[in-house]
Chain A
């Protein structure tokens, strides 16, 4: 590649090269942009293959001209250092810029300029772009499933209450802070369960009973993943302690449990919950499908949770155990007052990741017939009045899930970074 550097600037003609290089580079970009945005091919007079590669060649020569070790011009040095270090990088840079320019107009016009959002029926969608009317009309179904429209405030209120209760711990007085772990591990799950149960399913306090079959949409995703998280946490804690226990039988049982659930796919667990659970229960004992699914996912996710917590337990220095023992603490005292409070703090990012995985796994409950977001999409897609808008629905769902999951992963990443520096 060195032979390509035959034309190199020196101190005398540096500015000629700089201007020529920038000129060529901007011409290549403008050519591609005009081609993409206005659909005018200004290089059509050239023979086929050359017309395609011309912007690439021009841009490459341009970038080659402006490449210097050090110029003293700040912006030029930044460009050279970041996207123009050598010929190979220059080509990759050009290809990426071209790809972005080329992809922008069609996606923009599909998503925004040619799209429709007004109206309430399929006929309102006259443009060639996306039909957001479909998403608009079905929005409530996607969020709340078949839950009666005039009762949606109950779901909203329940979520607001649960989130508010979650933040409650931050505002506790200092002399109550020592009960924080107790609050989050035991009291909070129980209160949250009662809130969701009585508000969403009703049947008491003058609220109308809504059966779980009507639950659905994104809110069901949250309900299922939230319950599974708060239930799998204690389970995981017990299993993690069991796996690190000195007593062989307890250790083997914990290992067996953890490895079993980690070795099977979630979908078979869900199948198990829908066809095998009823067989294992007493004859006239009826268990709601949603409850069975939540139990199955909890059992499954508990194994993953256990491994995360075990990581936290292992990360604690041995001195902590020795110090606690030398004070004469027994097994339970040592764990409750010394080990777990420290270990649980360490595993918060890991738990956050588990919850993230849980949210991403929840759409699977669709295969056993629970209509959360993916299920509602499948339902809407096959509705005879709204055929042919699968793309819009899936893009909508993807955007929603992406925002949730991305925010969560960034949060857990920040926590991790924070704890790393604190220790």
Chain B
């Protein structure tokens, strides 16, 4: 009996304590909102937002609703995270491998790269790129072309836009390529396991990737034109680029800072993963007669990836959360558009901050859930 009370009493106290805090907050919020004449509710989401966003992936103007503004912000957040994740992975893998190089100079340069970018606060890095480095770029009329058709100016980076005809056929062909590669690789695996035969899956896949989409250009009536940015004079002293896609400097600064900063953490994950493979594994593989390439592909990588992927995903998650620093340089991400501008206009602090937090939270939890599932799947099952 005594034991039971010992178990239940602390739980009841804790729950009451938590409920008490929530109750206290709700009570205060009720009074405060009554006093200020604000009512609680999510009805504002359908109202006209009447503010503009500089950079948007979907069509948006002041006459659209707040819900649409939320979507614009969310898409911008996902865009900057997506681009940065690609770059930080590339850089991270390069520098992670370089840190294990036998070459003294490479090893140490990589180590200094990691130590340098890791130990400066991300916000300062963003500010540095945005306010100092990118401000030193030329104005549009003085910008020389990079790679012939792209222009790096103080107002942003202008790249050619793609103008597709019959884009859907092209996309179907990509889909067909993906499906057929999956089928072929499963077949190849079965063949290997049952009969010991190998087929060059990699080269077949490579061929498919190039041939099928190319065929659609010749047969399917797909064509691609480029909208090349052209300098245009607006008035005597103001010039802009027209045609093409303009990436705003905020986006560039963010991508630079986020990918350089996060790549150092990814590099450490990669290094730890490769170092985590015992020497014995490689020696054992070599003694069975595998070639260096096969050792890397069949023995080292599968084991190293098991160590690398979970912490790297964590870093991707951090990157997505850190992309909210965009608000500091006025890149219209979720925090700036929704928790900034929309909040200013509606004054619905509780609703808007909650929605913003819940959005990030659900992204995090979803990825964490996928990660847990993946970890379970790749776990070494000891018999």
**Whole-angstrom distance between the alpha carbons of A362 and B121 in the complex?**
9
Which residues does chain A contribute within 8 Å of B33, judged by CB atoms?
279
| Contact bitstring A249-280, B, C-beta under 8 A = 1, else 0 | 11001000001101111111101100110111
* Structural contact, B353 and A271, CB atoms closer than 8 A: yes
Interface residues of A in 50-86 (CB under 8 A from B): 82-83, 85
**Whole-angstrom distance between the alpha carbons of A89 and B74 in the complex?**
45
Interchain nearest-CB distance for B214 vs A (Å): 32
* Structural contact, B103 and A85, CB atoms closer than 8 A: yes
Stretch of B46-54, B191-199, B227-235, B356-364 on the interface side: B356-364
Stretch of B147-155, B275-283, B285-293, B323-331 on the interface side: B323-331
Interface residues of B in 319-350 (CB under 8 A from A): 321-322, 324-325, 327-328, 335, 339, 343, 349-350
**Whole-angstrom distance between the alpha carbons of A170 and B42 in the complex?**
56
* Structural contact, A250 and B29, CB atoms closer than 8 A: no
- The size of the chain B interface, using a CB distance under 8 A, is 57
A263-B364, A271-B335, A390-B132 in contact; A377/B104 too (CB < 8 A)?
no
DSSP majority for the A interface? helix
**Whole-angstrom distance between the alpha carbons of A271 and B328 in the complex?**
12
**Whole-angstrom distance between the alpha carbons of A262 and B136 in the complex?**
37
Which residues does chain B contribute within 8 Å of A378, judged by CB atoms?
127
Query: At the interface, yes or no: A151 with Cβ under 8 Å from chain B?
Result: no
| Contact bitstring B51-72, A, C-beta under 8 A = 1, else 0 | 0000000000000000000000
Query: At the interface, yes or no: A321 with Cβ under 8 Å from chain B?
Result: no
Query: At the interface, yes or no: B25 with Cβ under 8 Å from chain A?
Result: yes
Interchain nearest-CB distance for A16 vs B (Å): 27
Which residues does chain B contribute within 8 Å of A264, judged by CB atoms?
321, 357, 360-361, 364
Query: At the interface, yes or no: B131 with Cβ under 8 Å from chain A?
Result: yes
Which residues does chain A contribute within 8 Å of B327, judged by CB atoms?
267, 367
Query: At the interface, yes or no: B41 with Cβ under 8 Å from chain A?
Result: no
Of the candidates B28, B119, B127, B339, the one whose C-beta lies within 8 Å of that of A281 is B28
Stretch of B8-16, B170-178, B237-245 on the interface side: B8-16
Query: At the interface, yes or no: A363 with Cβ under 8 Å from chain B?
Result: yes
* Structural contact, B104 and A265, CB atoms closer than 8 A: no
Of the candidates A247, A260, A366, the one whose C-beta lies within 8 Å of that of B11 is A247
Stretch of A4-12, A117-125, A226-234, A397-405 on the interface side: A397-405
A259-B365, A402-B119 in contact; A247/B10 too (CB < 8 A)?
yes
A92 and chain B: residue at smallest CB distance: B106
* Structural contact, A250 and B10, CB atoms closer than 8 A: yes
* Structural contact, A276 and B353, CB atoms closer than 8 A: yes
Interface residues of B in 104-145 (CB under 8 A from A): 104-106, 109, 115-116, 118-125, 127-128, 131-133, 135-136
Interface residues on A, range: 35 or more
A88 and chain B: residue at smallest CB distance: B103
Query: At the interface, yes or no: A374 with Cβ under 8 Å from chain B?
Result: yes
* Structural contact, A267 and B120, CB atoms closer than 8 A: no
A268-B335, A364-B325 in contact; A279/B29 too (CB < 8 A)?
yes
* Structural contact, A265 and B322, CB atoms closer than 8 A: yes
* Structural contact, B120 and A276, CB atoms closer than 8 A: no
**Whole-angstrom distance between the alpha carbons of A170 and B15 in the complex?**
41
* Structural contact, B325 and A275, CB atoms closer than 8 A: no
**Whole-angstrom distance between the alpha carbons of A246 and B136 in the complex?**
60
Which residues does chain B contribute within 8 Å of A275, judged by CB atoms?
343, 349, 353
* Structural contact, A405 and B119, CB atoms closer than 8 A: yes
Which residues does chain A contribute within 8 Å of B357, judged by CB atoms?
264, 268-269, 272
Query: At the interface, yes or no: A406 with Cβ under 8 Å from chain B?
Result: yes
A363 and chain B: residue at smallest CB distance: B123
Query: At the interface, yes or no: A211 with Cβ under 8 Å from chain B?
Result: no
* Structural contact, A271 and B339, CB atoms closer than 8 A: yes
Please name 30 pairs of A and B residues whose Cβ atoms are closer than 8 Å in the assembled complex, sorted by A.
Answer: A82-B104, A85-B102, A92-B103, A96-B105, A96-B106, A249-B14, A250-B10, A253-B18, A263-B361, A264-B321, A264-B360, A265-B335, A267-B325, A268-B324, A271-B335, A271-B339, A271-B353, A272-B353, A275-B353, A360-B122, A390-B131, A391-B133, A394-B124, A398-B128, A401-B119, A401-B124, A402-B119, A406-B115, A406-B119, A409-B115
